[in-house]
Amino acid sequence: MPAAAFLAAIQKHSFWTIFAVAAIVRLTQVFTTIPPPGSGYDELEKVAKSLALHGTFADPYAISTGSTAHVAPGYTAFLSLIYMVFGVGLQGEQAKRAVSGIVSSLQYALLPRIGDALRLPPWAGTAAGLISALAPYKSFAETGEASWEQPYLALALLLLFLHTLRSWRDPRPGMPWSLLTGFYWSVAAYISPISGVVFAAILLYEIVAFRRIQSVLVTVLVFGILQVPWMARNWNQLHGVVALRSNFGLEFHLSNRPESSALMEDNVSNGFITRFHPSQNVAAALAVQTKGEVTYNREELRAGLDWVAEHPNQFSNLTFERFWKFWLYPSHRWKSTLATTLITLIGLVGIWRMPAGPALRLVNIFLLSYPLIYYVIQVDRRYRYPIEWIFIVPAIYVIGEIAKRVRRHGPQCGAHRRNGRTVWMLD
């Protein structure tokens, strides 16, 4: 069967076809690889275990330090439910990885929707979903023993992209839509506070471009009300104001001091994390225990800002290095890094070729706002995962168009005008 006919047949049931393929591949990964005993128990897993075994959202560090807001509550609470059902041993870890693989599969099953939203040909989204389903090169984030909330955040951001785009095509989205928008973004923030940066950028754009002051106020009000219970818990147990996570000061100082490297992998391999992070260093954990988590992070943030003020050139160099490594070199693991970088670069070509319109503006907002926080803290390859779906469909579209035109006519290149923009295309 020709490739075009094959894709056309799949497009009729693209969601379930892609989801089934992706789930089979990822569940096979999970149940054919057994993690070593005790692996993957980082801060988030430790808190989830504490919640499952003792009912306390606590103890993310090398020693018992009590109540915490080091990790966001959303995925942590969900993981604790998995541990309650399957236990905190091997079965619990396998269940955690399996559910993460299923969530990742949902993301790829929705890529045809992304293709439609970007107004690319239907085959591009379907092909992107199938190729992603069959090529699990992101297993470190999807089915690895140390996988965190990134697959859940990726799915949330993808769904919110589609939701936002729909609202932008309606000049008056209405009160129910504003209420739902506040609720959806609050759920995403409970998964990871980094989504709040994207949320703020979108709201700012809506105020400036659409003059949606009333609907934005309603959305922000709903969002804020839904954050109150967690903030009240943190005020009661940590004795300070903590919106979602408390650890920014720790991470900022860790990433901005004389020994800091841009990549987390380097900071781990050279023993830097072991020397300074309370999850690995007992002395640092004792400082958290003595001072309290809020005070400890406040002091760490102050120390980090003092270092930045005293060493502006070194901070600038680190920031620039984190910027380009976030986009082009987030890991020394060359296979996944090479695949990620190629998809990013080709995807950027596809985004550049997109016609001007709401979808392109929203893509730009996501890409400009999401990584801002990662330019000032150490870079890790899993931090990029939640927005990598943005590049997949445009990249597959570019590759498919090049292959199709080269096969039919040979490589000829020309410039065309589309919606007031110069677009280079193969003719």
Distant-in-sequence, close-in-space partners of 252: CB < 8 Å, separation ≥ 6 = 300, 301, 304, 305, 376, 377
User: CA–CA separation, 15 vs 23, rounded Å?
Assistant: 12
**CA–CA distance from 91 to each of 94, 96, 104, 140, 145 (Å)?**
5, 9, 20, 19, 12
> Mean pLDDT across the chain, nearest whole number?
91
The pLDDT of 189-194, averaged and rounded, is: 97
Amino acid code (one letter) for 321:
E
Measure the CA–CA gap between 194 and 25, rounded to whole angstroms: 29
Q: What is the pLDDT of residue 424?
A: 44
pLDDT at 179: 95
pLDDT at 8: 66
Q: Has residue 11 got a pLDDT over 90?
A: no
pLDDT digits (tens, 9 = 90+) for 318-375: 999 999 999 999 999 999 899 999 999 999 999 998 888 999 999 999 999 999 999 9
Q: Which amino acid is at 133?
A: A
Residue with the bigger pLDDT between 230 and 36: it is: 230
Phi (first) and psi of residue 119, to 5 degrees: 60, 40
| pLDDT(317) > 80 | yes
Per-residue confidence (pLDDT) for residue 404, from 0 to 100:
84
Mean pLDDT computed over 101-124? 95
Q: Which of 27, 68, 9 is nearest to 294 (CA)?
A: 68
Strands 413-418 and 421-426, by their bridges, are antiparallel
Does residue 218 have a pLDDT over 90? yes
What is the pLDDT at residue 170? 75
Number of Cβ within 10 Å of residue 214's Cβ equals 10
Q: Give pLDDT tens digits for 21-65.
A: 999 999 999 999 876 655 556 899 999 999 999 999 999 999 999
- For the cut 90, the answer to whether the pLDDT of residue 412 exceeds it is no
Lowest mean pLDDT: which of 42-46, 141-145, 200-204, 370-374?
141-145
- Which secondary-structure segment (H or E) carries 377? none
Q: Are 199 and 188 in contact (CB under 8 A)?
A: yes
Q: Residue 241 contacts by C-beta under 8 Å, 6 or more apart in sequence? A: 231, 234, 235, 294
pLDDT of residue 172: 74
How far apart, in whole angstroms, are the C-alpha atoms of residue 136 and residue 28?
11
Say whether pLDDT at 426 is over 90.
no
pLDDT at 246 (0 to 100): 96
pTM for the full model? 0.92
Q: How confident is the model at residue 427 (pLDDT cuts 50, 70, 90)?
A: very low
For residue 410, what pLDDT is reported? 59
Q: Mean pLDDT over residues 161-181, rounded?
A: 89
Q: Is the pLDDT of residue 86 over 70?
A: yes
Element (H, E) at 425: strand 421-426
